[in-house]
Amino acid sequence: MSGSRAWLHTLYRICEPIRVFTLATGVALGAVNALFGLVYLIGAGLAYAVLAVAPRDHRLRGRRRLGRVARRLAEYDRRRVEWFLGDSPAGVVTDLRAVGYLAARVPLGALGGTVLLLLLYGALMAFAVVVGWIAGRPVDDIEATPFVVTYFAIVGVVLLFLAVQGITGVAALDHRLTRALLGPTEKAHYEQRIAVLSAARAEIVAAVDAERRRIERDLHDGVQQRLVALGMLLGRARRATDRAKADDLLRQAHEESAGVLAELREVAWRVYPAALDDGGLTAALEIVAERSPLPVRMTLDLPARPGPAIETVAYFVVCEAVTNAAKHSRAHRVEVVVAGLDNAVHVKITDDGVGGADPAGGGLAGLHRRVHALDGRIHVHSPVGGPTTITAELPCV
């Protein structure tokens, strides 16, 4: 296991108890909310029975109020799921959907509450037994022999494992239920997806247009000017009557042609590095590190070669970040980590510069468009004083 992957797994293990505690808190609050939901359902049922014989205006007004209360309760519970159990996009919730959600939450809340109560009961019993052994007053006359202690420890670990699995299972069911009954409908989901794809298409068009303008600018301001200078040198050499001066002009023309060729290669490299085709992302990034004026520490851990589109975007993210660090950040070193994890390529670039990078700047805005075009995510953290960290996640789907 490489260093970056080992670091990620270590961080995950450290955060795992925190995640379980967060899920347990969400499940506990869900049990309480389910109780409120049950009270509402009972009260609403009685109110509907009373409203059935009320005048029509009173009946309609009362039903609207009951529906509004159901929607608020459902929305509070959706926020609970969003805060503690994961993302939970809000959809259009009608009175009927809200009441159905509250009804479905009752047995799930009871299940979650039962799991937590069993966990609490087991923890209290274990605490009482251990304290009894330490104080010399064993509970139920169970002596602390090595066999008993080992037996209790094994049983305790197994029960704790089952309790944790129960909490995560209830949390997963809770999350799915909320998305199914309170999330966007299938039609709304497709509409959102179409809107996202339309925005991505517009960003791709903008990115390609910006790239075209940059290439035109590089060719016009750089290569074209140098070719004009090369032509003038050759013309002066042809008209020169002094042999020594003609040789000197030809020498300058030769040097200028080498410079033009190098600049032309640089432009072509910025359009699409040939190393991506030949050696993949690893070879291309190694060349980026070699060409950088700053020391670049490169760590790559890719279990499989990503697709060409992913490789290209990852390359440009690293290349732009390293270039910005060299030009603007006054950094002394750059660290790049590229890792494949959870069916995505994760890229992280950190420099020790002065920070203050503007995410809306031309280069970084272009990276945002490139990454978003692949349904990826990019984040720039660059406080004044530094350091600057750019992270990107590119899904390999």
Cβ proximity of 93 and 182 under 8 Å? yes
Q: Is the pLDDT of residue 267 over 50?
A: yes
Q: Are residues 215 and 241 in the same domain?
A: yes
Q: Are residues 155 and 211 in the same domain?
A: no
Question: Which pLDDT score is estimated for 364?
Answer: 82
The residue-averaged pLDDT of 370-376 equals 81
For residue 329, being part of any structural domain is answered with yes
Question: Which pLDDT score is estimated for 29?
Answer: 92
Least reliable range by pLDDT among 13-22, 65-74, 376-385: 13-22
The more confident residue out of 65 and 184 is 65
The residue-averaged pLDDT of 74-92 equals 84
Q: Is the pLDDT of residue 382 over 60?
A: yes
Per DSSP bridges, beta strands 344-351 and 296-301 are unpaired
CA distance 147 to 134: 17
**pLDDT above 70: percentage of residues in the chain:** 95
The residue-averaged pLDDT of 320-342 equals 88
Instruction: Supply the range of the domain harboring residue 356.
Output: 278-395
The residue-averaged pLDDT of 360-381 equals 81
Q: Are residues 11 and 147 in the same domain?
A: yes
Question: Which pLDDT score is estimated for 130?
Answer: 86
For residue 194, being part of any structural domain is answered with no
Q: Are residues 212 and 320 in the same domain?
A: no
User: pLDDT class for 6, splitting at 50, 70, 90?
Assistant: low
3-state secondary structure of 10: helix
pLDDT in tens, 110-119: 999 999 999 9
CA distance 184 to 182: 7
Q: Are residues 292 and 230 in the same domain?
A: no
CA 304 to chain centre: 20
Q: Are residues 258 and 284 in the same domain?
A: no
The residue-averaged pLDDT of 268-279 equals 75
3-state secondary structure of 228: helix
Q: Rounded to whole angstroms, what are the CA distances from 220 to 214, 226, 227?
A: 10, 9, 10
Q: Are residues 241 and 363 in the same domain?
A: no
> Among the three residues 121, 154, 184, which one is the final residue of a domain in this structure?
184
Average pLDDT, the chain: 84
For residue 365, being part of any structural domain is answered with yes
Q: Are residues 334 and 255 in the same domain?
A: no
With residue 323 as reference, give the H or E element that holds it: helix 308-328
Question: Which pLDDT score is estimated for 31?
Answer: 92
The residue-averaged pLDDT of 283-299 equals 88
Domains in the chain, number:
3
For residue 199, being part of any structural domain is answered with no
For residue 55, being part of any structural domain is answered with yes
For residue 201, being part of any structural domain is answered with no
Q: Are residues 127 and 222 in the same domain?
A: no
CA distance 366 to 320: 10
Residues 6+ apart with CB under 8 A from 358: 364
Cβ proximity of 397 and 359 under 8 Å? no
Task: Return the closest-CA partner of residue 32 out of 99, 107, 109, 103.
Answer: 109
The residue-averaged pLDDT of 73-95 equals 84
**pLDDT above 90: percentage of residues in the chain:** 19
Instruction: Supply 34's token pair.
Output: 């389910």
Question: Which pLDDT score is estimated for 1?
Answer: 46
For residue 358, being part of any structural domain is answered with yes
Instruction: Supply 295's token pair.
Output: 């020391």
DSSP of 27-77 = HHHHHHHHHHHHHHHHHHHHHHHHHTTS-HHHHHHHHHHHHHHHHHHHHHH
For residue 21, being part of any structural domain is answered with yes
Q: Is the pLDDT of residue 7 over 60?
A: no
Q: Are residues 56 and 78 in the same domain?
A: yes
Q: Is the pLDDT of residue 49 over 90?
A: no
Least reliable range by pLDDT among 39-43, 107-111, 172-176, 327-331: 327-331
Q: Are residues 305 and 390 in the same domain?
A: yes
Q: Are residues 37 and 150 in the same domain?
A: yes
Judge if pTM exceeds 0.75. no
What per-residue string of b and e applies to 135-160 under the rule 16 or more CB within 10 Å gives b? eeeeeeeeeeeeeeeeebeeeeeebe
Question: Which pLDDT score is estimated for 397?
Answer: 65
Q: Is the pLDDT of residue 58 over 70?
A: yes
CA distance 319 to 382: 17
Residue appearing with tokens 């999330």: 183
Question: Which pLDDT score is estimated for 164?
Answer: 87
Cβ proximity of 58 and 51 under 8 Å? yes
